[in-house]
Amino acid sequence: MDANASDRSLGELLSEMTSGFSTLVRKEIDLARVEIKDEVRQAGKAGGMLGAAAFMAHLGALVLALALGLALADALDLEAWLGLFIMAVIVLGVAAVLGTQGRNKLQQINAVPQQTVQTLKEDVQWVKQQTS
């Protein structure tokens, strides 16, 4: 407070405190909004990876089914069957890697805006000090 704080009325001081508190609350809400936006962006990326993993697994299943179909239809031509089987294993391997990465990204997401929680704790301490 400034040197003339003792000359101001209680109403003026309360008005100033209320105004400051309103500004503080708005800033905290803005901070929470930024933190949550970042977490949602990360969740979107992880969801994209999981979607890609599902797509690749679907392709792998189709190729595997084709390989088994060729194996049954043409049991003597092992080269075509073996080629398709190897391709199915590769596609499913890619799906496994993408799925693992997507799952790991999802596990890293923290839905609690930690910085906002910390600054709110600091604000509560500051208010306690101001009212003591």
Mean pLDDT for all residues in the chain: 82
Question: pLDDT tens digits, residue range 36-89?
Answer: 888 899 999 999 999 999 999 999 888 887 887 787 667 656 677 677 777 778
Residue 1 has pLDDT above 70, yes or no: no
* Mean pLDDT, rounded, for 80-106: 85
The tally of domains found in the chain comes to: 1
Tell me whether residue 131 is in a domain: no
Domain residues for the domain of 75 are: 8-116
Tell me whether residue 126 is in a domain: no
Tell me whether residue 59 is in a domain: yes
Q: How many CA atoms lie within 13 A of 96 on its CB side?
A: 7
43-50: Cβ within 8 A, 24+ apart = 43/106, 43/109, 45/105, 46/102, 46/103, 46/105, 46/106, 46/109, 47/102, 48/102, 49/98, 49/99, 49/101, 49/102, 49/105, 50/98, 50/99, 50/102, 50/103, 50/106
> Between residues 114 and 27, which one has the greater pLDDT?
27
> Between residues 47 and 109, which one has the greater pLDDT?
47
Tell me whether residue 122 is in a domain: no
Confidence of residue 17 (pLDDT cuts 50, 70, 90): confident
110: left (phi over 0), alpha (psi -120 to 50) or beta: beta
Confidence of residue 130 (pLDDT cuts 50, 70, 90): confident
What is the per-residue pLDDT for 6?
63
Confidence of residue 117 (pLDDT cuts 50, 70, 90): confident
Confidence of residue 122 (pLDDT cuts 50, 70, 90): confident
Tell me whether residue 128 is in a domain: no
